[in-house]
Chains A and B, each alone.
Chain A
Amino acid sequence: MKNEPQTTLKADRDVGAARNGIVVRFSGDSGDGVQLAGLQFARSAQQAGAELMTLPEFPAEIRAPAGTVFGVSAYQVHFGEQEVLTPGDEADVLVAFNPAAFITNIGFLRSGGTVVYDEDSFDERAFKKAGIEDNPVQPDGHYRAIPVAISKRTLEAVEEFDLGRKAALRAKNFWALGFTLWLCGQSTETALAWIERRFAAEPDIGAANAAALKAGHAYGETHEIELPDIFEPVAPMATPDTSRLVSGTQTMALGLLAAGTLLQRPAFYCSYPITPASALLHELAKFRSGVRTFQAEDEIAAVSAAIGASYAGGIGVTASSGPGLSLKTEAIGLAVAAEIPLIVIDIQRAGPSTGMPTKPEQSDLSMAVLGRHGEAPVVVLAPSTPADCFTMMIDAARIATTSMTPVIVLSDAFLANAVTEWTAPDLEELKARMPPAPVSLSNGTGGNWFDRDVETLARPWTPPGTPDRMHRIGGLEKDAGTGDISYDPANHQRMTDLRAEKVAKARTELTPPLSLHGAEDGDLLAIGWGSTYGAVRRAVDRLNEAGHRVGHLHLRQLWPLPDGLETIFARYNRLICAELNSGQLTAILRSTYLAPVAPVVQTTGRPFMVSDLQALFAAQLGETAS
């Protein structure tokens, strides 16, 4: 196996440097093991030295009736040699386990792409379940179809294990994985090693899955299948040794662990199950040290317990998705009023209300920035990549404890689930990001317990148990001098101003608060935030390659807005803001800077496609030119 020829893609084969890598999309029933096949494909590619990003797409239903279109689950992997920043607009290869998967996913296959489908699952009965009359595979030149009897071949491959038909068919995802790995020039070694570890306790199942995987790969080798034009043999790829595959959820969990370890204070993660934020609770609950996880009775209890933990000297963290953030807002107001460090993570999903729970959207920004009663400013941050999720947790913990403020971190269903390769940063470097003890813990000695730090304007963090600093605090307005309850009109004005100024001062705490790529001045500035980073960046790259002068400004810090934005804005003829909502950051930028920012928005429950953004940006350029 080690001597088999390695193949890879012809880089940038169709549209110059704009195209990068191969996109493979697996699709099938929720119970078909599509997510597993996709993830194992990604692992294999990563182990071979590829860069990648994935897009898991699955329904909210756990096991919708088999064969129906609403039970279809898909997993897209974009891998290549160069910096891969998106999961890919369209698939080069689509694997479809049944007709329902075929009809719901064929639209994601690029023109001229290859579809591999399980012909055993394409019969009248399956068509009926999918709600169609005839075989949907109608090669007409737009795609190349490779029918393979995946079910039958899987049964043959695992026959010797006597699993019974139903159990044997469960291995078909591994058969398809093996075949797809062959199709994309990848070896089965990584997947085989994983199977061996994963099924160590069930060696028969493991052996059957391994047999299916090998059979799928061998089928490709031994049958005359014309390879798609994107593949050609090349020299082995360079293999970086330190990277690993991670999702945004995993890096966020590791970031919280790092924050607690660096601050030497227990991180207290408190949440209530909600899709897609629950995965973070699952990830953190695995650890036996460094983080205390608490599954609360509801969203309100989750944030309240986190506030209690911070009040008592821990790092209180709560996470949820949109509906949960709505429930937490009153308590976040308490954390503003009582000046309690708090990290609130919102894994945004398509709303309003229950909306589309497994689909990404960026539509909670207005709620995060403005959605509280009273004048209640908080810090709002947004990581842009899974790697950024890691450092942002450390930054959030530092800002929350330094400025004694809630920090809301906006991720989304795409960023949380997308998998990419990641090299863990050096611990010593991280220490520079985090002071050994928050300033707020040490600046309260002498004077009143409510005396503010002159730099940060934060009140001291004096947890219960601290001698001689006993005090009472709460949601009632406090006297700016003593911290006692006050209804004095002038004092309320002063405290309102102080809270705003304190949060405003935190604007210089995040390094860097933004990233700027592409042209430093010119025709157009594309502004983005959060998980759209890769798509906006690529669209801007393509326009610049086509001779335009376009910049890409990506904000990591959404409130308070970073310094210097006006200066950047002034260098471009036109400003646009791309976001997965109806223009929420656009509205904030317009009202803050009176800047003529035009929205480029989408609420489809999917990430932006690079090609869509490219076209929309180009349209803006056209208007400028005319």
Chain B
Amino acid sequence: MNVGLSPKDFASDQEVRWCPGCGDYAILKGVRAALAKIGRAPQDVVFVSGIGCAARFPYYVASYGFHTIHGRAPAVATGVKLANPDLDVWVVGGDGDFLSIGGNHLLHTLRRDVDLNLLLINNAIYGLTKGQYSPTSHVGTVSPSSPRGSLEAPVNAGLFALGAGASFFARTVDFLQDHLPDIMVRAQAHRGASLVEVLQNCIIYNDGVFSKVTSKADAAQNAVRLVHGEPILIGSETGRGLVFDEASCRFRVAEIGRDCPPEGIARHDETNLPRAMALAALQDEDGPEILGVIYCRPEGTARPGLSAIEATPLMDEAELATHMAGPRAARGGGKPALIP
């Protein structure tokens, strides 16, 4: 742990080339703040990315960075981590990167629970290729490749991740600087694959797509900031919260006092997988936007991940010589005496 690191220590000398007003600026700011708070030496931090607007991220962080190819960043990062488990490895991708071309890699990275911090920067559009609908676009998204509106149902990133066996899933919003850095710190502290979905506003091609949380005022009305063990309340002082309906296994919005007493509001249990899935499912409905750590695998239930691979030692020369000589030599014998 390095004391005294500031966000500036993680600012690279590269000129940032995102569009003015892009949500990525805020995400970059929040991640730099988180990195300073986490305090790992910049040389031990690696950012790996795929292709897309979000994937330019590594150039702007003063650590090691590897800008790879479309969709494959989780696979590259897995190799990085397995070769040197001491590194703090972050993977940055967009919705196209993580959920379309690289969906397979995200699935297996989560399932394997490799100790990576995965940032899914979701703007529900293909930005760098000029605005085609993406796998998280709402049905009916009008775009150059869907002039009559997109037809496909969007991927729910949270349900995808939890279904794949993710051990950590959280959601935050680009501009929420009082929320995003803390979520990043939580994700980094989690041992195993942690996926954070960052709702990001693409000001050029999909402005206002996350209408519930486009501004602070919106968020104050529509966002739930989950806190483990605390009641799940919507916005600030809205008098609304979520109750859990056991019969339908769903959360629903309740007005405190009218629909339920204050103690009827559900308390968040981030270690409860079915409840986490019910929270993630709300993204597909007209309810509130759920932010915070939606699921974190309970302590003491850590899966082995790939630690056995990471721990494989080098081979020494004596052992190599034994293997080269072969099983017969290893058994201590030369040739059987066939000939008298």
B339 close to chain A: CB less than 8 A = yes
- Are B104 and A472 in touch, CB under 8 angstroms? no
- Are A261 and B320 in touch, CB under 8 angstroms? yes
**Complex alpha-carbon distance, A287 and B323, angstroms:** 10
Instruction: State which residues 302-328 of B face A: CB under 8 Å.
Output: 306, 309-310, 312-317, 319-321, 323-328
B18 close to chain A: CB less than 8 A = no
A265 contact set on B, CB distance < 8 A: 314
A464 close to chain B: CB less than 8 A = yes
B82 close to chain A: CB less than 8 A = yes
- Given A2-B339, A297-B107, A334-B69, A264-B84 contact (CB < 8 Å): no
- Are A427 and B320 in touch, CB under 8 angstroms? yes
**Complex alpha-carbon distance, A307 and B14, angstroms:** 24
B83 close to chain A: CB less than 8 A = yes
- Given A304-B68, A465-B84, A257-B323 contact (CB < 8 Å): yes
**Complex alpha-carbon distance, A527 and B80, angstroms:** 41
Q: Can you list, as one digit per residue, whether each of B36-67 has a CB less than 8 Å from chain A (1) or not (0)?
A: 00000111111011000000001100111111
Interface centre among B14, B41, B75, by most chain A C-beta atoms within 10 angstroms, is B75
Instruction: State which residues 64-90 of B face A: CB under 8 Å.
Output: 64-69, 72, 75-84, 86-87
- Are A305 and B82 in touch, CB under 8 angstroms? yes
- Given A331-B72, A464-B87, A424-B315 contact (CB < 8 Å): no
A470 close to chain B: CB less than 8 A = yes
Nearest CB of chain B from residue A254's CB, rounded to whole Å: 6
- Are B314 and A308 in touch, CB under 8 angstroms? no
Q: For this complex, into which size category does the number of interface residues on chain A fall?
A: 35 or more
- Are A289 and B313 in touch, CB under 8 angstroms? yes
B335 close to chain A: CB less than 8 A = yes
**Complex alpha-carbon distance, A244 and B330, angstroms:** 12
- Are B108 and A297 in touch, CB under 8 angstroms? yes
Instruction: State which residues 109-143 of B face A: CB under 8 Å.
Output: none
A592 close to chain B: CB less than 8 A = no
The residue in chain A whose Cβ has the minimal distance to the Cβ of B59 is A472
Instruction: State which residues 277-334 of B face A: CB under 8 Å.
Output: 306, 309-310, 312-317, 319-321, 323-329, 334
Count the A-B residue pairs with Cβ separation under 8 angstroms: how many?
A: 219
Nearest CB of chain A from residue B125's CB, rounded to whole Å: 22
Nearest CB of chain B from residue A15's CB, rounded to whole Å: 30
B340 close to chain A: CB less than 8 A = yes
- Are A464 and B84 in touch, CB under 8 angstroms? yes
B76 contact set on A, CB distance < 8 A: 304-305, 307-308, 311
- Are A309 and B319 in touch, CB under 8 angstroms? no
- Given A187-B338, A316-B79, A330-B64 contact (CB < 8 Å): no
A424 contact set on B, CB distance < 8 A: 321, 324-326
Nearest CB of chain A from residue B70's CB, rounded to whole Å: 8
B240 close to chain A: CB less than 8 A = no
Binds B, one of A473-481, A496-504, A601-609: A473-481
- Are B317 and A312 in touch, CB under 8 angstroms? no
Nearest CB of chain B from residue A391's CB, rounded to whole Å: 12
The residue in chain A whose Cβ has the minimal distance to the Cβ of B87 is A464
- Are B84 and A472 in touch, CB under 8 angstroms? no
The residue in chain A whose Cβ has the minimal distance to the Cβ of B47 is A472
Number of interface residues of B (CB under 8 A): 63
Nearest CB of chain A from residue B99's CB, rounded to whole Å: 15
Instruction: State which residues 291-310 of A face B: CB under 8 Å.
Output: 291-294, 296-298, 300-302, 304-310
**Complex alpha-carbon distance, A470 and B64, angstroms:** 5
A370 close to chain B: CB less than 8 A = no
The residue in chain A whose Cβ has the minimal distance to the Cβ of B325 is A424
Q: Of the candidates B62, B319, B327, B334, which one forms a contact with A470 in the assembled complex, judged by CB atoms under 8 Å apart?
A: B62
A145 contact set on B, CB distance < 8 A: none
Q: Of the candidates B75, B86, B315, which one forms a contact with A465 in the assembled complex, judged by CB atoms under 8 Å apart?
A: B86
**Complex alpha-carbon distance, A198 and B309, angstroms:** 29
B247 close to chain A: CB less than 8 A = no
B20 close to chain A: CB less than 8 A = no
B339 contact set on A, CB distance < 8 A: 2, 6, 48, 236-237, 239
- Are B65 and A472 in touch, CB under 8 angstroms? yes
The residue in chain B whose Cβ has the minimal distance to the Cβ of A190 is B336
Nearest CB of chain B from residue A310's CB, rounded to whole Å: 8
- Are A304 and B72 in touch, CB under 8 angstroms? yes
A2 contact set on B, CB distance < 8 A: 337-340
A266 close to chain B: CB less than 8 A = yes
A48 contact set on B, CB distance < 8 A: 338-339
A160 close to chain B: CB less than 8 A = no
B67 contact set on A, CB distance < 8 A: 472-476
Nearest CB of chain A from residue B293's CB, rounded to whole Å: 27
The residue in chain B whose Cβ has the minimal distance to the Cβ of A197 is B331
Q: Of the candidates A297, A311, A427, which one forms a contact with B66 in the assembled complex, judged by CB atoms under 8 Å apart?
A: A311
B319 contact set on A, CB distance < 8 A: 289-290
- Are A338 and B66 in touch, CB under 8 angstroms? yes
B58 contact set on A, CB distance < 8 A: 472, 474
The residue in chain B whose Cβ has the minimal distance to the Cβ of A290 is B315
Instruction: State which residues 179-208 of B face A: CB under 8 Å.
Output: none
A313 close to chain B: CB less than 8 A = yes
B12 close to chain A: CB less than 8 A = yes
- Are B314 and A290 in touch, CB under 8 angstroms? yes
A139 close to chain B: CB less than 8 A = no
Nearest CB of chain B from residue A59's CB, rounded to whole Å: 29
A476 contact set on B, CB distance < 8 A: 67
- Given A304-B68, A304-B76, A464-B64, A292-B309 contact (CB < 8 Å): yes
Q: Which residues of B contact A (CB under 8 A)?
A: 12, 14, 41-46, 48-49, 58-59, 62-69, 72, 75-84, 86-87, 104-105, 107-108, 306, 309-310, 312-317, 319-321, 323-329, 334-340
Q: A467-B41, A472-B65 are in contact. List 7 more A-B contacts (CB 8 A).
A: A190-B338, A261-B316, A304-B69, A309-B83, A312-B84, A464-B45, A464-B87
List, sorted by A's number, 27 A–B pairs whose CB atoms are closer than 8 Å: A2-B340, A3-B340, A6-B339, A47-B335, A48-B338, A189-B338, A193-B336, A244-B326, A266-B83, A289-B314, A289-B315, A289-B319, A296-B108, A301-B108, A304-B105, A305-B75, A305-B76, A307-B79, A308-B76, A308-B79, A314-B84, A316-B79, A424-B326, A465-B64, A467-B41, A470-B62, A474-B49
Q: Which residues of A contact B (CB under 8 A)?
A: 2-3, 6, 47-48, 187, 189-190, 193, 236-237, 239, 241-242, 244, 246, 254, 257-258, 260-261, 264-266, 268, 270, 287-294, 296-298, 300-302, 304-314, 316, 330-331, 333-334, 338, 424-425, 427, 463-476, 484-485
Shortest beta-carbon contacts, A-B, top 5: A308-B79, A474-B67, A290-B315, A305-B79, A472-B65
